[in-house]
Structure 1
Amino acid sequence: MRRRGQRTPDRIVAVGGGKGGVGKSVVASNLAIAMAQAGRRVVLLDADLGAANLHTLFGITRPARCLAGFLSRAQESLEEVRIHTAVPGLDLIPGAGAVPGVANPGWGRKQRLLRHIRSLDADVVVLDVGAGTSFDVVDLYNEADLRLVVMTPQLTSVQNAYAFTKAAVYRLLDRLAGERAQLGGSEVDRVEGRLRATEAADPALAARMRAALSGAGFRLVGNQTFEQKDGRVYHALSRMIFDFLSVQAPVMGWLWASRRIHDSVSGRIPHLLVAPGDPNEVTLRSIADALLREDVAALRAARAAKHPARERSGAAPETGKEALEILRAYMAQSERRPVDWTATLELEDTPVEVAVRDISSGGARIKSPVPLSRGQEAALVLDQVPGAPRLRIVVRNAREATWDYGVEFISEPVPTQDATRTAAEVDLLH
């Protein structure tokens, strides 16, 4: 833990999402409270430059100082803007509210803000960023070590969460590549293909890109969840992000739709302060604890290589129709289950032993000692499953650098040696 006077926060956590109304501020404020109550010195910064409201959630009607003063240089340091809250160990930097021009601060003011965020005297800084995919929003979000994407199980929210994550990934790669960045194209283009193209032209740059992606620190948090099966939606998005954007975005947990949370917002008292023992309190504290245990040093080391990039207008486009159909297909699959199996891959009657890393009713992720190509068909025998089911598969995603492959099941499993399907096998695949 840090002592006052030390610089650079131990960790920066950003809370974002593709659209407003999904509960980013509720998640950010309560996670900040949980980390402060765990003994950390926390600064919660309202980085929603166009619609700040965190101060309202803490019962503060009109803060004496806010981010607008810093951006206009009325205050020279963010330290001058932070105010104490009723929670010991938690300070708040209120947002700018409806101040003309603040929502678009410009390159210079944005860089000054980012520098001061990095020098805040705190153990943890939590950034509540705005909605949308503008560069101002995404650059604030990408400043963090751990990047939470908040969404609800509604299709429109999941769609926008994917678009937001894609914008953050592409902006990250764009800034590494600088003038060489060419990251436009179809919504369903895979980042892996672009990395391979970069490797052919500049292997060192491609290596830095892969390292940056490995340390990106994306995490998913569900909100306003009504049924247990809604969790499959969050896991479906996690799989799609991995397959198309080449980054891990595990699901940290989800909050249930709750009258208590609704009333806490209306009453201007954060949920954790009024609902002890509530299931959502348990989830929020679990997520906060996981964030505090993350190996941030490793993430920072992976992202260490940075190159300046010119500022450009616009941002990644919203998810198009084709990507939306793919997302629906992912959501139709059951949740993947992590496994550690060996299996037999039959390639033109030549058996090869492979490792199965996870599996669902729709497909699996395998590690193969021999190269496979996208679109290649084969048979996969699950030797460790009762009945040793034999499944026809097609390779959908190939990551040659790590020998990882995503495969889709294209027919019902046919047990080898005329074995009947067991209850365990049925449960596994359905």
Structure 2
Amino acid sequence: MVSLVPVASGKGGVGKSLITANLGLSLARKGKTVIMVDLDLGGSNLHSFIGVKNKHTGIGGYIYKQAENLEECILPTEYPKLFLIPGDSLLPGTANLPFFTKQKIIRELQNSVADIVLLDLGAGSSYNTVDFFLSAWSGLIVTTGEPTSILNAYSFLKTAVFRLMLRSFPAKSSERAMVQDFVGTKIEGGEGSLYDLLDALYAVNPESGLNLKENLRKLVPRVVVNMGRSEMDLQIGKKLRDISRKNIGIEMEYLSFLPYDESARNALIRRSPLIELSPGSEFSRKLDILASNLISRLKGEGPELHDGDVEEL
């Protein structure tokens, strides 16, 4: 069964694409067939990190029906077992997709011939990014030790939780309306507010309350702290995990701490993965551990959610 691994960040500049490319290569070297998908719609650059020229039909071409299926867009890289579906930053309009198009992309990727599919998502909390992130129970959230990066990572997580809650119920259902009203309030305004919503849903339909509670339990995002420079940065992932548990009742897993590496910029200039250029670096060692940890935690299934035709949170 294919395991989808979305890679997201609350803001740009945290090294999300760098991690996706190097993680893909590390996983391939461990024997996994990996497809990396550039879903940073309107700003794709994953190809640059893996050394593939941006001249092929990718996600944009598929959306505009220049390719009949995503399989036609899969490109080999120079590395065995590692493949790429590029983005199309030169094609306008791909940054805002209808919900059914996102679902179609996810279904085709779930049926692809691969062990792992890495989704390099756009920065921020747009519905495109959040919906692709919710294609798996345990996507990666990349952050750094900077306060703005931490705040944006937490903001992204809240948006993903709200979106999951909303899409746990059919459109026009009374349960979705209740979630919609709840999301419009300040979730952190009082202790147990999320449980108040669950209690209200139980009162309307016990099965609905149990369904939402189970979805929230299964959602366990994984934090990767990148460009770490100090012991204080090392504690960021744990702090984000504690805040998430306390404020919105979501467990997060602190998966990895990747140190700052001066060679990262040179790797991009040379269009080569950092672990290829500096195999003996601390970054490469930690990245290898990250890949091993991820393999041991892979999950094939993802959420079964309802259409997202209500586009407000």
TM-score between both structures, scaled by the size of structure 2:
0.91
The residue that corresponds to 2:227 in the other structure is 224
Matches within 5 A, 1:309-348: 309-315=307-313
Q: Percent identity?
A: 29
Tell me if structure 1 keeps the 8 A contact 2:35–2:117: yes
Equivalenced residue count is 302
Counterpart residue identity of residue 17, structure 2: S
Q: C-alpha separation between the residues in 1 aligned to 2:18 and 2:266?
A: 12
Residue 141 of structure 1 deviates from its aligned partner by: 1.0
Q: Please state if 1:272 is matched with 2:275.
A: yes
The residue that corresponds to 1:41 in the other structure is 33
The residue that corresponds to 1:185 in the other structure is 185
Matches within 5 A, 1:8-407: 8-9=1-2, 11-178=3-170, 179=173, 180-181=175-176, 182=179, 183-189=183-189, 190-294=193-297, 296=299, 300=301, 306-315=304-313
Counterpart residue identity of residue 247, structure 1: I
Residue 119 of structure 1 deviates from its aligned partner by: 1.3
The residue that corresponds to 1:403 in the other structure is none
1:323-352 Cα offsets, whole Å, 9 max, x none, are xxxxxxxxxxxxxxxxxxxxxxxxxxxxxx
Q: RMSD across aligned C-alpha pairs, in angstroms? A: 1.7
> Secondary structure at the residue paired with 2:235?
helix
The residue that corresponds to 1:332 in the other structure is none
Tell me if structure 2 keeps the 8 A contact 1:15–1:150: yes
Residue 177 of structure 1 deviates from its aligned partner by: 2.5
Q: Which moved more, 1:281-290 or 1:192-201?
A: 192-201
Tell me if structure 2 keeps the 8 A contact 1:192–1:245: no
Q: Which has the larger radius of gyration?
A: 1
Q: Which has the higher contact order (CA 8 A, sep 6+)?
A: 2
Cα 1:307/1:146, change in 2 over 3 Å? closer
Q: C-alpha separation between the residues in 1 aligned to 2:270 and 2:195?
A: 47
Q: C-alpha separation between the residues in 2 aligned to 1:13 and 1:124?
A: 7
> Secondary structure at the residue paired with 1:259?
coil
Counterpart residue identity of residue 185, structure 1: T
Tell me if structure 2 keeps the 8 A contact 1:12–1:146: no
Q: Which runs of 5+ in 1 are unaligned?
A: 1-7, 316-430
Tell me if structure 1 keeps the 8 A contact 2:225–2:258: yes
Tell me if structure 2 keeps the 8 A contact 1:176–1:309: no
Residue 58 of structure 1 deviates from its aligned partner by: 1.8
Residue 314 of structure 1 deviates from its aligned partner by: 4.2
**Higher helix share goes to which structure?**
2
The residue that corresponds to 1:365 in the other structure is none
Q: C-alpha separation between the residues in 1 aligned to 2:28 and 2:90?
A: 29
Q: C-alpha separation between the residues in 2 aligned to 1:69 and 1:41?
A: 24
Tell me if structure 1 keeps the 8 A contact 2:56–2:86: no
Q: C-alpha separation between the residues in 2 aligned to 1:106 and 1:135?
A: 10
Residue 131 of structure 1 deviates from its aligned partner by: 1.3
Q: Which runs of 5+ in 2 are unaligned?
A: none
